[in-house]
A and B are shown apart, each in its own frame.
Chain A
């Protein structure tokens, strides 16, 4: 079990300062992400208050069970990610790699289910701008719903793909022995990013999948 001595970049006085700066830096970045997704959540709220029936009718066309399963998959991936960070903190390099791998696998499962849903929507002609068809008077508001559905879950999926890529880089670094109990900041920071992407989905799921389900 290698214990690499704590080194730090030259602009910092010591590794404690470097860690504090890196941690704060990731939180600042997540603040920007809150506002980025927040803009789309605002647009969603703007139109849901205007078109409650249209949104409910459109939401019922989403597969609630695939959505629930995907939510559970992401929660599992946050669990494995938290365990990966913990393993890094106690210098268990092998466990770090195992848990990072599990997180990646779960992320890929999520994306697989997501793209299956996308394909289903394509076949059902529910992709705006691509021969969109919706019976009844609520077609305009349904199309707006699906515009937000694809924009928001699409942007979320992009963030998942970036997260999976970053996790892959982490595994490579872990394999090369870059991390130890005294230096595992990258694992910690990408963990923060991954949890944030999970939180976005935690809000996306009820807002997109659970609108007006009680109306039958």
Chain B
């Protein structure tokens, strides 16, 4: 990040428009039954897309050094560790039913 990359107002406006559209669509989709857990999946997926737009363009990560990408990636990777190794516990808690000892 030595010579700052100046993003055009047009690009910012386009990202802004996309974010508003995605917001409206996530609210709209909430009322449509997608079956099973797909509503939750869709909502989180849209949120991830919105977050990526903010990170890449508003936060300039698209124009940043690989070191910046490493730091950004590390944060989310660690979050995945927290989720990935905690959730097996409640999800698998009742897989083993107690057996009477003879």
Contacts and interface: CB of A to CB of B under 8 A. Distances in A.
A–B contact at 8 Å CB threshold (below): yes
Interface of A: 16, 19-20, 23-24, 27-28, 30-31, 34-35, 38-39, 41-42, 45-46, 49-50, 64, 68, 71-72, 75-76, 78-79, 81-83, 86, 89-90, 188, 191-192, 195-196, 198-199, 202-203, 205-207, 209-215
Nearest to A210: B30
A75 B15 CA distance: 10
Chain B: number of interface residues, binned into ranges: 35 or more
B19 A75 contact: yes
Interface of B is mostly: helix
Contact of A210 (B4, B20, B27, B76): B27
B51 A203 contact: yes
A195 B34 CA distance: 31
Given A46-B87, A81-B58, A214-B33, A24 B68 contact: yes
A214 B7 contact: no
Contacts of A68: 23-24, 27
Given A31-B75, A64-B27, A195-B58, A49 B12 contact: no
Contact of B59 (A83, A192, A212): A192
Contacts of B100: none
B90 interface: yes
A42 B6 contact: no
A165 B40 CA distance: 35
A214 B30 contact: yes
A195 B51 CA distance: 9
Residue from B9, B58, B91 with most neighbouring chain A CB atoms (10 Å): B58
9 contacts: A34-B78, A39-B82, A49-B90, A75-B23, A83-B9, A195-B58, A209-B30, A213-B31, A214-B31
